[in-house]
């Protein structure tokens, strides 16, 4: 199995511009941010700390909940999804601005 090449921040920005253009209107095409995150999300946060996961591995996951999965408290609706997408788009915009400042220098 071939190892996937890790792209630099500049290469990621260049590829996003090539694929989606220099300006992305998330109101017209909100799915673009999802596609960018799918393609490059792992690369952007690759330098993040591992969260303290031990080398020995993780314990046994908990079993399924005994509550009814379809209860009202567990329903994910479009409003919640759009709020999370908006948060992500703001984070990507912030990262893009930071990358732009770094590449301009």
Question: pLDDT-derived band of residue 47, with 50, 70 and 90 as boundaries?
Answer: low
Residue pLDDT, tens place only, 55-89: 566 677 777 666 555 555 556 677 888 889 999 99
**Does residue 62 lie in a domain region?**
no
Is residue 47 a part of any domain in this protein? Answer: no
Is there a domain that residue 99 lies in? yes
Q: Are 33 and 89 in contact (CB under 8 A)?
A: yes
Question: Which residue segment(s) compose the domain that 13 sits in?
Answer: 8-40+76-105
Whether residue 30 lies inside any domain: the answer is yes
Domain annotation covers residue 57 = no
Q: Is residue 94 part of a domain?
A: yes
pLDDT over 60 (residue 50)? no
**What pTM did the predictor assign?**
0.38
Instruction: Count structural domains, the chain.
Output: 1
Residue 92: band (very low, low, confident or very high) from pLDDT cuts 50, 70, 90 = very high
Residue 70 lies in a domain: no
Is 50 inside any structural domain?
Answer: no
33 touches 85 (CB < 8 A): yes
């Amino acid at each position: 199995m071939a190892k996937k090449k890790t792209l630099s921040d500049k290469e990621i920005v260049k590829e996003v511009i090539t694929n989606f253009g220099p300006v992305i209107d998330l109101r017209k095409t909100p799915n673009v941010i999802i596609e960018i995150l799918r393609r490059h999300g792992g690369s952007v946060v690759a330098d993040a700390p591992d969260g303290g996961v031990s080398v020995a591995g993780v314990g046994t996951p908990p079993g399924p909940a005994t509550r009814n999965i379809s209860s009202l408290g567990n329903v994910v609706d479009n409003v919640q999804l759009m709020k999370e997408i908006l948060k992500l788009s703001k984070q990507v915009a912030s990262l893009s601005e930071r990358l732009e400042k770094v590449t301009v220098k």
